[in-house]
Chain A
């Protein structure tokens, strides 16, 4: 079974500052890991995914995440926040079966001018 924990339901950063959103996972099999972004009143859009290739994964909009097996983590980072990054971010884990994806509770990112 898979599960994911996102640390911090709200994160606030200043424009231009580093963004760090934390995700820890639990999986009984080698995991597939995902970050999704959701803008207000919209669906989820895939930011990036880890599928057992490179441990440092680059996604859209300048985001990246690093898979650390020893820490069971998949934290999302962006060097310099932009106002347009304000959204809710979801981490998700799957064992590779098409019906076992599990999502975290989400982290709302606020970007201050």
Chain B
């Protein structure tokens, strides 16, 4: 069964800490995404990557950065965590197919609390 694995289900961090959220996929997908999910706002795209060492800003990149050194791994970095970054973070991946689009495969999510 194909998988997107997020390393932590729950995290509690202090304001000002540097936080790393890790995501690994075993499907050889080219594209990977980081979303945050907040009640009433649905999913909002933070960053995505369509290849190793490539990254593109999504709708809400402020306060975040990403790293993709290997195809299977996409890391989200909170340079200096703040309380307004308390949220559920979802990683997803997809692959390129000239014939159709299959959608995204999601990880189980990381619920981050910044205190």
Cβ contacts B66-106/A at 8 Å (1 or 0 each): 00000000000000000000000010101110001111111
> How many interface residues does chain A have, given as a range?
20 to 34
Residues of B within 8 A of A90 (CB): 42-43
> How many interface residues does chain B have, given as a range?
20 to 34
Interchain nearest-CB distance for A50 vs B (Å):
10
Residues of A within 8 A of B96 (CB): 98
A-B contact count (CB 8 A): 61
Interface on A for B, CB 8 Å cutoff? Answer: 9, 32, 34, 36, 41-46, 49, 51-52, 90, 92, 94, 96-99, 101, 103-106
Interface on B for A, CB 8 Å cutoff? Answer: 4, 6, 9, 30-31, 33, 40-43, 48, 50, 56, 90, 92, 94-96, 100-109, 111
